[in-house]
Amino acid sequence: MMLRASFSLWLAMAALAATAGPAAAAGLACPGTLAIQPQEQVQAPAGWQAASEPQNHYLRGARLFDGDPKDLADLIGERGGWDLLPNEGRGYTLICQYEGTEATLQARVPEGLRRCTVSRRKANWRGVRFGREVTDGTETVVRCQ
């Protein structure tokens, strides 16, 4: 009897894994930083050359949309994230937001994922944000699984 129950449980788990597909197994996560090359038009004086360096902007949060963001169906999360319920084939779009810029990254959430979360944790790192040195900052992590 115990063997039959274990085999049934194994079959149920295998069927669930098969329907989730490989994209669901991989999940989706916002990149921790976004590098932006400033494109400012600088009029350099004679003998000088304008130059700029890429700036890293750190992840600060995310928004989740039911379907395409242009439809303005911005979802409100609960308990640090969003539950991904079936939505009649519209799918979900995750938009990653970064500090100090209006630039964002967006991606469709793969079918089969069930939850997206936003968490913040203390990180032991040093860096520069907005021209000031930052130590022991807070790292934001956005992940859909």
Centre a 10 Å sphere on the Cβ of residue 82 and count the other Cβ atoms it contains.
23
Q: What is the largest CA-CA distance in the chain?
A: 88
Q: Residue 100 domain-assigned? A: yes
Residue 104, strand partner residues: 97
Q: Is 40 part of any domain?
A: no
Place of tokens 């979900």: 92
In a domain, 50, yes or no: no
Domain span holding position 130: 24-33+55-145
Question: Would 45 be classed as within a structural domain?
Answer: no
Per the domain annotation, does 81 fall within a domain?
Answer: yes
Which amino acid would we find at residue 89?
A: G
The reply to whether 49 falls in a domain is: no
Does residue 28 have a pLDDT over 90? Answer: yes
| Amino acid type, 86 | P
Judged against a pLDDT cut of 80, whether residue 16 lies above it is answered with: no
In a domain, 60, yes or no: yes
Helix/strand number for the chain, H first, E second: 1, 11
Joined tokens for residue 93: 């779009």
- What's the domain count of the chain? 1
Determine the pLDDT at residue 93. 95
Q: Which residue has the higher pLDDT, 127 or 3?
A: 127
Does 38 score more than 50 pLDDT? yes
- pLDDT for residue 57 is more than 80: yes
Please state, in angstroms and rounded to a whole number, the distance separating the CA atoms of residues 115 and 143: 8
- pLDDT band at residue 124 using 50, 70 and 90 as cut-offs: low
Whole-prediction pTM: 0.66
The amino acid at 64: L
- Whether 16 is in a domain gets the answer no
Question: Is the torsion defined by CA of 84, 85, 86, 89 positive or negative?
Answer: negative
